[in-house]
Structure 1
Amino acid sequence: MFLTHMRLNPSRGGTRRLLASPQRIHAAVLAGIPDHRDDERVLWRIDQPANHDVNLLVTSERQPDFTGLIEQAGWPARPDITWTTRDYDQLLNRLASGQTWQFRLRGNPVIRRRDDTGRIHTIPHLTARQQRDWLVARAERVGVRFVPDENDEPQVIVSERRTESFTRYASAKGRHVTLATARFDGLLEVTDPEALRTALSAGIGRAKAYGCGLLTLITPR
């Protein structure tokens, strides 16, 4: 596995066009994966910190080549601003029970319910508390415990809550897509390293093709 970080140029029209549609970002990311297969999991996420940078994070089974993305949305005249790719297996292989990590995730918090006719509907969680509880409820299957604060509440901060709307073009006829997404930051403790490796590699929740599901870890500050 590989973890790639790339800065996008917020002043470029190509960047603004990509940010307007997760479908376009997904296509641009896959274009940078050599001989991408349909069964090959590629996760990505856009982070936009307060300094107005636009950061693209990608996990992939093979090392990407984002030369085309640099031309479209980067700094093609600045060879010092490109992308960096790291061996993600180094992190995955050193996960161990009891470790504490800071985490970040952009997720698509939803619940599936069956109506009186038997049809299943996907319903978004809309409040910050519902969205936080959606993630906390997944702790065991992800292989973690969300570290509690002094009030015995899980240290999970929900921010950047928004509804994204765009057109998905799987064919000549587009389909309108609406997603409720949120960013989650906090502190976790590893309880099941193998389950956490799976979550880091395969993602969490739905809408993975649209920038959701990529969980990242850093050493606590």
Structure 2
Amino acid sequence: MPNATRVRQPSDTAADAAFVRAHTQVQPVPFVPEVRLHMAEDAIALWETTETARGEIGMPPPFWAFAWAGGVGVARYVLDHPELVAGRTVLDLAAGSGLVGVAAALRGASSVRAAEIDAYAVTAIGINAELNGVRISAAVEDLLDGDGGPAEVVLAGDVFYERAMAARFLPFLERARARGAEVVVGDPGRRYLPRERFTALAAYDVPVVADLEDAARKTTTVWRLAG
């Protein structure tokens, strides 16, 4: 699940890296054991710690410290269907931990670009890419007014959980599809996904962090945006 409310400019990269490492543990991702990530155990505690470290109240949750169901579904699909990304340029949009981008790189993407608006997330993506032995170009940037070019494949996990988010993401994804990109998203039944615009590729029963989802598992569908 991404954060897309406002861009948070890069801070002290070394300090951010130390923060990420200090407050997470390296673990294999449930349902995607081929990938290991720096992940946290307690979302609320980390959220409060992040606000204290930044000296700012009202920060978004630390999306980068967890493997959200939508991203897990896309990563599983990419790992099982390498033809989607092999030899192609990939954009991991609102990348969070970088899970989806790591999966694409592991399956032979020619390059992977990850976009996030949280400096902690960008730092975590770099750390997680190194942990998995892959390269990802990550930056703090809001791309939603563009079309994702020149990426040949645009991947996004769990971006339709809020009305305002959906209102920005859908036009972006449609512009990417209109210029010829393959667009694939993961969604665990969020309210604002316009299902009539997508074709289902696969569905998985994904284990999730119960404190974040009020459930132990979520049925997650991987969708392709129709042309």
TM-score range, shorter chain: 0.3 to 0.5
Please, what TM-score do these two structures have when normalized by structure 1? Answer: 0.35
Rg bigger for which structure? 1
Greater share of residues in helix: 2
